[in-house]
């Protein structure tokens, strides 16, 4: 990390930016050289029942266990503490649902009241400290209430994205073995009502683990049939409940399980603890996002994903901010001006969403005409994460929105940013394609396949030196060996991120995509992420995916799938020629394009990630499994037909 430090100091002198780096370097250097002191100071910013005095212990796990001697309750930190300190009348959550035409707000006092009552309702259903509760809910305020109620009881919640297939939900039920499930009668996708209860009922039939209590929120759009003796109506259950106080837990006790896909097909239950999670998120709200108590923060994601956990619910509320629960899309609800309407209406200071959301807006409104109808003067920063932010999208967002755009990188496993422009400390000079620099606690290195530290501008495996900072995963639920086998085994002493990239001469980090997205063309390793940068820079391209397909002569060749901007017309052959010329100019003659195809949609997960591996498998004739997370299964049909025709 000294390399990064010296390189950035040199860059500072070269750019004459004498004030840029002082605060960032002070905190980052201390977090690596004096981690116990640094994180102890951050912990003391929160209201503990028993303040920890021994920050980290690496004897039980190489990833580290943080604040073992501390006692707390996360729900108390995000609600009771703020009410006791005068924020009771401040709005905690704005609920905005363009798909139902519904808007509401809940103050900190009101949210505390509702969470305490629902915690009592869960306790009446037999839920106690350490029990698991599966939450299978749409984007409604009751989802947040259920999560916080679990935290209040010391129970462990596991949120499953609403609308997941029954078989996938059953796998998660069998793995978590919940004492109860909290669900809703339906979710809504644009103008389509998705019945949740039949999916849940089928999952419960498939699961080996038998759940005694199911709580159902009946939404006005669809009424679900309840099974006598097992199913409980949310409203009726609350009418019989009494408020409960926050249950003290150890900092190392689990707060939640969040399942993410695994290479074996069995999902990995990422386990997050209470103490490290609270300390890391609270630190990040200021250091990374520059948010203060009372500010309005909007993470345009879903509570079923890690972004929803960290930055719709826990992070903003820990910091005393106002958060937004948005049940809608960046386009179609009603149009590509939806995001700007929310920013204007609620005076959003910072917005955070996936690049795919902004690419969707760019496709529908390439010149930003709809943006001109709204006052977004409150907006200071635009944050993007969840997938690689390609430079064309970065440039478009920067020019169109007229605000700093921060590309930051993190994972479900880490729970908060690994790399970012720490705008709450210093607004570092931005570089398109870079997620800027490592955040406090992350000792990031670039290693070769044989484990050697690589020099600047050499692409390799991105790893983090152990122990990990607070807030990262503490294990895989029910499978202790999987943590080591998946993340720690490949490079001894390091957490392997599974992502590839490089660090430039100034210490800036560039994430080029998953390491299996690197293709081998005649013995040359080429990053599909790098090629997507070039393809995405074409004037008519709104979004693209580049995958490697088998070639008898060269081993692999890149294939580009392209979505055109609205109103763009070009022949596919001509587009292929122009893209080929751009690849040769930017990367070199080795970047020979096998083919370029114009498509109407790209297969994605519900969180917006393009399913590149499945596209690659279809193109290569390899077996594949359609994941339950796919947003539009029919999107694969176009890819299949394309491959057959070529």
- Give Cβ neighbours of residue 452 (< 8 Å, ≥ 6 apart): none
Helices 2-15 and 22-33 cross at an angle (nearest 10°) of 170
What is the reported pLDDT for 19?
40
- Range name among 40-44, 248-252, 465-469, 622-626 with the lowest pLDDT average: 622-626
Q: How far is the C-alpha of 168 from the C-alpha of 281, rounded, in Å?
A: 29
Mean pLDDT of the chain: 92
Query: Predicted confidence band at 18 (pLDDT cuts at 50, 70, 90)?
Result: very low
Q: Are 512 and 459 in contact (CB under 8 A)?
A: yes
Structure tokens at 178: 């919940």
What is the reported pLDDT for 262?
59
Q: Are 235 and 449 in contact (CB under 8 A)?
A: no
Walk me through the domains of the chain, giving residue ranges and CATH numbers.
522-645 (3.30.300.30)
Residue % of the chain over a pLDDT of 90: 77
Structure tokens at 540: 């008519």
Q: How far is the C-alpha of 225 from the C-alpha of 210, rounded, in Å?
A: 19
Residue 414 neighbours by CB distance under 10 Å: 25
What is the reported pLDDT for 387?
81
State the pTM of this model: 0.88
Query: Predicted confidence band at 121 (pLDDT cuts at 50, 70, 90)?
Result: very high
289 pLDDT exceeds 80? yes
392 pLDDT exceeds 90? no
Q: How far is the C-alpha of 163 from the C-alpha of 332, rounded, in Å?
A: 20
Query: Predicted confidence band at 523 (pLDDT cuts at 50, 70, 90)?
Result: low
- The predicted-structure confidence for 571-619, as pLDDT tens digits, reads as follows 999 999 999 999 988 887 778 888 999 999 999 887 788 888 889 889 8
Query: What would the DSSP string read from start to end of 518-573?
Result: EEEETTEEEEHHHHHHHHHTSTTEEEEEEEEEEETTTEEEEEEEEEEPTT----HH
Place of tokens 């009372």: 294
* β-bridge partners, 194: 187
Q: Are 493 and 465 in contact (CB under 8 A)?
A: yes
Q: Are 103 and 325 in contact (CB under 8 A)?
A: no
| Residue with more model confidence, 153 or 264 | 153
Mean pLDDT of 535-548: 93
5 pLDDT exceeds 70? no
The SS3 call for residue 106 is: strand
What is the reported pLDDT for 21?
44
């Amino acid at each position: 990390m000294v390399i990064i430090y010296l390189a950035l100091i040199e860059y500072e002198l070269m750019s004459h930016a004498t004030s840029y780096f002082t605060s960032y370097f002070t905190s980052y250097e201390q977090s690596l050289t004096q981690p116990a002191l640094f994180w102890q100071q951050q912990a003391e910013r929160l209201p503990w029942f028993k303040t920890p005095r021994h920050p980290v212990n690496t004897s039980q796990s190489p990833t580290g266990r943080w604040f073992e001697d501390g006692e707390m309750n996360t729900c108390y930190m995000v609600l009771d503490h703020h009410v006791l300190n005068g924020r009771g009348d401040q709005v905690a959550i704005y609920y905005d649902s363009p798909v139902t035409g519904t808007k509401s707000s809940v103050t900190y006092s009101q949210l505390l009241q509702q969470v305490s009552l629902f915690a009592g309702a869960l306790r009446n259903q037999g839920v106690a400290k350490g029990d698991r509760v599966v939450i299978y809910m749409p984007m409604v305020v009751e989802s947040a209430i259920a999560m916080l109620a679990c935290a209040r009881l010391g129970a462990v919640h596991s949120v499953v994205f609403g609308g997941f297939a029954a078989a996938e939900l059953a796998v998660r039920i069998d793995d978590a073995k919940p004492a109860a499930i909290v669900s809703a009668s339906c979710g809504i996708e644009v103008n389509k009502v998705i019945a949740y209860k039949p999916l849940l009922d089928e999952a419960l039939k498939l699961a080996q683990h038998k759940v005694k209590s199911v709580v159902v929120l009946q939404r006005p759009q669809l009424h679900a049939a309840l099974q006598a003796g097992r199913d409980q109506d949310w409203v009726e259950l609350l009418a019989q409940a009494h408020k409960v106080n926050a249950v003290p837990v150890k900092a190392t006790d689990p707060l939640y399980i969040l399942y993410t896909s695994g290479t074996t097909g069995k999902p990995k239950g990422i386990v997050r603890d209470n103490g490290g999670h609270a300390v890391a998120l609270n630190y990040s709200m200021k250091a990374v996002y520059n948010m203060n108590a009372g500010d309005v923060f909007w993470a345009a994601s879903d509570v079923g994903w890690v972004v929803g956990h960290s930055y719709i619910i826990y992070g903003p509320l820990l910091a005393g901010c106002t958060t937004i629960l948005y049940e809608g899309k960046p386009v179609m609800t009603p149009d590509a001006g939806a995001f700007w309407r929310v920013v204007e209406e609620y005076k959003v200071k910072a917005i955070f969403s996936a690049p795919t959301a902004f690419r969707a807006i760019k496709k529908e409104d390439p010149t930003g005409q709809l943006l001109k109808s709204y006052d977004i003067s409150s907006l200071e920063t635009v944050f993007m994460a969840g997938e690689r932010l390609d430079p064309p999208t970065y440039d478009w967002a920067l020019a169109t929105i007229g605000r700093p755009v921060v590309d930051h990188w993190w994972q479900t496993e880490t729970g908060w940013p690994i790399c970012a422009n720490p705008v709450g400390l210093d607004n570092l000079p931005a570089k398109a394609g870079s997620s800027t620099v490592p955040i406090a606690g992350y000792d990031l290195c670039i290693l070769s396949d044989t484990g050697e530290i690589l020099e600047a501008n050499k692409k390799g495996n991105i790893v983090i030196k152990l122990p990990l900072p607070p807030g990262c995963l503490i294990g895989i639920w029910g499978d202790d060996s999987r943590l080591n086998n998946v993340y720690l085994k490949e490079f001894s002493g390091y957490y392997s991120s599974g992502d590839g990239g490089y660090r430039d001469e100034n210490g800036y980090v560039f994430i080029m995509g998953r390491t299996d997205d690197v293709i081998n063309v005649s013995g040359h390793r080429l990053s599909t992420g790098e090629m997507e940068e070039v393809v995405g820079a074409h004037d008519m391209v709104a979004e693209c995916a580049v995958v490697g397909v088998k070639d008898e002569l060269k081993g692999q060749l890149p294939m580009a799938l392209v979505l055109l901007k609205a109103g763009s017309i070009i022949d596919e052959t001509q587009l292929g020629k122009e893209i080929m010329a751009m690849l040769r100019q930017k990367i070199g003659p080795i970047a020979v394009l096998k083919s370029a195809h114009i498509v109407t949609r790209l297969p994605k997960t519900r969180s917006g990630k393009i399913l590149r591996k499945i596209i690659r498998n279809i193109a290569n004739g390899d077996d594949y499994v359609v994941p339950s997370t796919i947003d539009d299964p029919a999107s694969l049909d176009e890819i299949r037909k394309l491959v057959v025709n070529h």
